[in-house]
Structure 1
Amino acid sequence: MKITDKIMTKSRLAMCGLSLVLFFASVMLVTVKGFNWGLDFTGGVVAEVQLSEHISKDELKLTLDQALSQDVQVIGMGEQDRWTIRYSQVAQGEPSNTAVQPNLVEVLNQVSDQVQVLNSSVVGPQVGQDMVEQGGLALLVCFVLIMLYLSVRFEWRLALGALAALVYDVTLILGLFALTQLEFNLTVLAAILAILGYSLNDSIIIADRVREVLRGNPNGETDNLINRSIQATFSRTMVTSGTTLMTVSALWLLGGAALQGFAIALCVGIVSGTWSSVSVGITLPKLLGLQPCHYQVKPIEETEEGYV
């Protein structure tokens, strides 16, 4: 084995070890801290308002928290006088079936002499619960269809590696949102579904190359053949991931607060998808005993009664 192959093999094993640590850390974060569910899932009011320019975020949030008796989310919109305000329709300590409708304009008049509500929307709690159930069902159906596709496309070891890479990518994104307590809303869920397709495509490209190399080198060493497959697809992977990451990074920087969670999830998912495709996706099959003989065509034996 060449020195380069040894380095690549050790690097892949180290990446898998780090991925395993990050995976379990993400699971612990999701279990212990949970998510900061957005109003898309919990129900509430989202209002975009325009106030006087001299209002600070701390002053505005303190007034709203005290008036509405809850932790109100206040997000600046890039302009000094425009704010996005998110709060529940039911104040803390009130019965859940009691509809509390605070007059937002009267509350804002306490800190600003110019109040203009640009737009406002209400999401009911029942609608939010339906979104949670439908979002979970969408992820489940997506995973089932992916498993069916992989079981037909690849030998079970490569298929399991690609599926493990997908699970790792999704878990890492969930762990990040649990750690940072960024708002988890429908746009983040859409980003996760997009990452499933992106990571799967990346894993399939590399796994398909591994299959071709294994089939064409029946007497080769598996680690060397896997390293050769990575080298053959490396430029394609970097160009695709790099250009996509540049686009999503621009969305993150210029898209504003409304698209922040969506862009962050996509950025992390693109990096994680590339990472897992060249580590977990093809190293796990090797650890499960993948060999070139698994992709060799077996000759049909001829007997006196015919072919077997």
Structure 2
Amino acid sequence: MVEFLKQNIRKIRYVTSIVSVALMVVSLVALGARGLNMGLDFTGGMVTEVQVDKSLTSNDLLNTLKPELGEFTSVTHSDDAGRWVIRYPIPEAGQTIPDINQVLSKVSHQVSVVSSSMVGSQVGDDLVDQGGLALLISMMCILGYLCFRFEWRLASGSLLALIHDVVLVLGFFAATQMEFNLTVFAAILAILGYSLNDSIIIADRIRELLVAKQSTPTETINDQAVIATFSRTMVTSGTTLMTVSALWLMGGNALEGFAVAMFIGILSGTWSSISIGTVLPEWLKLEPKHYLPVEVDSAP
């Protein structure tokens, strides 16, 4: 595997860069054409906590509730056995809110509504504004850090890799119309930090090699940097993917969106750091002289 990587790393970097650009275009088209399927956290809806038979599972409840309450109905297990939190859209004007007791009585001998509340659309609008502001601030902070840490040609590769990862996740959710809620948004913020870490490790190695091997072409420097950090990247990404996969398989409906977003973000973050993060600085003509001390003319 290592020998194959050494012999083909440059071809791999260039091919994956082309694939990344193509996926970004597809994701942007999906976002523009279909948009995101905003969850109840952003659009508003009803939140009802019920107590039912302890033998019922989330699938039993969803199969009963969705035909009555709508496709975007979700259930989350509460602390006590048999207690569930149901989220569903507010009925349109002219429609009545279905009776939860009557709906669940088809599958449960005992139904008790513990609490019921409405999340207004105004709260959802505020969450959208605050979420967008949080994403903007985090990106600006990352941009400032990259500009301080690296020369702009090298920093631009890491920044574009971050944008690539976020666009891919948003494009996937737009294309599949999976619910985009607060847990998915939290995953996107986590992806930013994870992808940034990968990009910084490789960029830092590139900077070291540029100074140490000033006569070596930048393309070769980038190849060597990727190979030197490859094992570390695979171990980190592999162990994180195992954890996210466990959340995906065993976390249930409540964590499905978070796990899917993290899974896609980790995969894209790994290859974008290797491809976009190294190829873009080459296109911008990064050279060792950009990291060498500037000679000051002492002549009067």
TM-score range, shorter chain: 0.7 to 0.9
Distance 1:207-1:141 versus aligned 2 partners, 3 A rule: same
Report matched runs for 1:222-261 at 5 Å.
Answer: 222-261=218-257
Report matched runs for 1:108-147 at 5 Å.
Answer: 108-109=104-105, 112-117=108-113, 120-147=116-143
- 1:119 Cα deviation (Å)? 6.0
Contact map agreement 1:16 1:283 (CA 8 A) in 2? yes
What does residue 204 of structure 2 align with?
208
Of 169, 181, 188 in structure 2, the residue corresponding to residue 185 of structure 1 is 181
Work out the number of aligned pairs and report it: 290
- 1:83 Cα deviation (Å)? 6.6
Of 102, 127, 130 in structure 2, the residue corresponding to residue 106 of structure 1 is 102
- Mean alpha-carbon deviation: is it higher for 251-260 or for 11-20? 251-260
Q: Deviations over 1:88-147 (max 9, x none)?
A: 23x22449xxxx654322343366543244665532211111000000000011111111
What does residue 34 of structure 1 align with?
35
Distance 1:4-1:103 versus aligned 2 partners, 3 A rule: closer
- 1:298 Cα deviation (Å)? 3.0
Instruction: Establish whether residue 162 from structure 1 lines up as the match of residue 163 from structure 2.
Output: no
Of 266, 269, 279 in structure 2, the residue corresponding to residue 270 of structure 1 is 266
For 1:274, give the aligned amino acid. T
Contact map agreement 1:60 1:111 (CA 8 A) in 2? no
- 1:293 Cα deviation (Å)? 2.0
Distance 1:3-1:75 versus aligned 2 partners, 3 A rule: closer
For 1:302, give the aligned amino acid. S
Contact map agreement 2:61 2:75 (CA 8 A) in 1? no
Instruction: Establish whether residue 283 from structure 1 lines up as the match of residue 279 from structure 2.
Output: yes
Contact map agreement 2:5 2:227 (CA 8 A) in 1? no
- 1:160 Cα deviation (Å)? 0.7
Instruction: Establish whether residue 294 from structure 1 lines up as the match of residue 257 from structure 2.
Output: no
Distance 1:75-1:181 versus aligned 2 partners, 3 A rule: farther
TM-score (norm 1): 0.85
Residues of 2 paired with 1:18 and 1:26: CA distance? 12
Contact map agreement 1:72 1:85 (CA 8 A) in 2? no
- 1:270 Cα deviation (Å)? 1.0
- Give the alignment's Cα RMSD to 1 decimal: 2.7
Larger radius of gyration: 1
Question: Which secondary structure state, in structure 2, belongs to the residue aligned with residue 86 of structure 1?
Answer: strand
Distance 1:119-1:175 versus aligned 2 partners, 3 A rule: farther
- 1:53 Cα deviation (Å)? 5.4
What are structure 2's unaligned runs of at least 5 residues?
none
TM-score (norm 2): 0.87
Contact map agreement 2:6 2:227 (CA 8 A) in 1? no
